[in-house]
Amino acid sequence: MRIGEAWRLKWTDLDFEAGTIRVNEPEKNSNPRIFKLSNKLTAMLNALPRTSERVFGQVLRTSVYSTFCDQRRRLAKKLQNPRLLQISFHTLRHWKATTEYHRTRDILYVKQMLGHKSITNTLIYTQLISFESDEYSSAVAKTLDEARKLVEVGFEYVTDIDSSKLFRKRK
């Protein structure tokens, strides 16, 4: 979601039982959407104090941005990598869109995830990066249950060899 959308989240937008978050106030004329939360993020959000109707209502937006810039500057200096100074909140949105497209190969899913009304906007976000040089972990499944378990933990089917199925997952 966009930083402004996260900033406007209300406690009523969170469903801790279902583990979801709903963007009811999308920016830039986007579509409302629902995201699945990880257990870790659900626990972190649940631990926040509820002192206003908004989830991040007590923190000044400028202080969040200032803290982000300070941390980014420290990390760039520590790692001696000035390119880190180019990272913004919006960069993370581009990264998520690109990795989700690479993972799913489904541009319509990414369009829905970003809340775009036009596929043209989504194509800007999914900058198709060549991941060919990446390393993979591989696994073999001999039964349907083994194959199902591999898919559930993120492995993708590659091919059949003899009576086994070969799967891979990017490291």
**Which residues sit opposite 170 in a β-bridge?**
136
DSSP H or E segment with residue 22: strand 20-23
Out of 36-50, 85-99, 130-144, 151-165, which region has the weakest mean confidence (pLDDT)? Answer: 130-144
- Domain ranges for the chain, please list them: 1-56, 60-87, 90-133, 136-170
> What pLDDT digit, counting tens, does each position of 102-149 carry?
888 888 999 999 999 988 888 887 765 565 656 788 999 999 999 999
